[in-house]
């Protein structure tokens, strides 16, 4: 997969004007966190979801060990096309959501001794994996893991790279030769405060990655 086609996901959006500014950059995926322990939790759906999203910008809801009926309700209310599962969700949970017509992205936190073998059980039940760094929180920790570990990945499921990605990493990411790397997930390193993105810095990253 040519790296110039990498998809760009910006996660943890919370504020209406900030989101409106971001959408001008034509991101491919926009993430909203539905996890009340996160400082980026989106409480008022109607405050952002009535904006005009570019046709290619898919809305992603991020959930952590949430009940399937709640996920489906939030997806319906917010017009979410994708659900990102960032907890201990089982392959069965992923399959139920996929069969409900949602695109399913299952996140895993990668440490130095990460074993890719258990992911085989999810392969038929998800559309994407997302590999994030281990940290104190389920996501948004602002640290990266050793990307060389992804050389051990042998499944056919495409994945997003997450965890501490900053403006300085654009060239490095473009140079990666990882056949199933599908996109990058940008969050805390592009923030003024939790949930408020520095859109000019995001614009620089997007232009460099897509250039």
DSSP string, 31-49: EEE--TTSTTB---GGGTT
Measure the CA–CA gap between 27 and 74, rounded to whole angstroms: 22
Of 39, 38, 59, 56, which is closest to residue 48 (Cα–Cα)?
Answer: 59
The residues pairing with 33 across neighbouring beta strands, listed in sequence order, are 41, 62
CATH number of the CATH domain containing 124: 3.20.20.70
Number of domains comprising the chain: 1
Quick one: pLDDT at residue 45?
59
This prediction's pTM: 0.93
| Pairing mode, strands 82-85 and 103-110 | parallel
Own/partner long-range contacts of 87-95 (Cβ < 8 Å, ≥24 apart): 87/63, 87/138, 89/65, 91/121, 91/122, 91/124, 91/125, 92/125, 93/68, 94/122, 94/125, 94/126, 95/124, 95/125
Backbone angles phi, psi at 63, to 5 degrees: -130, 150
Domain span at residue 101? 3-210
Q: In the predicted model, is pLDDT for residue 3 greater than 60? A: no
How many C-beta atoms lie closer than 10 Å to residue 135's C-beta? 16
Give the model confidence (pLDDT) of 55-108 as tens digits. Answer: 999 999 999 999 999 999 999 999 999 999 999 999 999 999 999 999 999 999
pLDDT tens readout for residues 130-174:
999 876 555 555 678 999 999 999 999 999 999 999 999 999 999
């Amino acid at each position: 997969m040519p790296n110039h086609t990498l998809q760009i996901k910006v996660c943890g959006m919370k504020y209406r004007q900030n989101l409106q500014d971001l959408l001008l950059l034509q991101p491919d995926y926009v993430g909203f966190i539905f996890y009340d322990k996160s400082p980026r939790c989106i409480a008022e759906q109607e405050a952002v979801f009535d904006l005009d999203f570019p046709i290619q910008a898919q809305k992603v809801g991020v959930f952590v060990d949430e009940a399937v009926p709640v996920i489906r309700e939030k997806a319906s209310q917010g017009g979410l096309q994708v659900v990102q599962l960032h907890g201990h969700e089982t392959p069965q949970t992923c399959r139920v959501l996929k069969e409900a017509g949602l695109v399913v992205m299952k996140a895993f936190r990668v440490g130095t001794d990460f074993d890719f073998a258990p992911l085989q059980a999810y392969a038929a039940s998800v559309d994407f994996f997302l590999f994030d760094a281990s940290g104190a929180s389920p996501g948004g920790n602002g640290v990266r893991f050793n990307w060389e570990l992804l050389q051990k990945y042998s499944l056919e499921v495409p994945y997003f790279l997450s965890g501490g990605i900053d403006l300085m990493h654009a060239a490095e990411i473009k140079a990666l030769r990882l056949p199933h790397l599908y996109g990058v997930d940008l969050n805390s390193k592009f923030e003024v405060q939790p949930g408020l993105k520095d859109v000019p810095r995001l614009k620089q990253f997007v232009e460099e990655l897509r250039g």
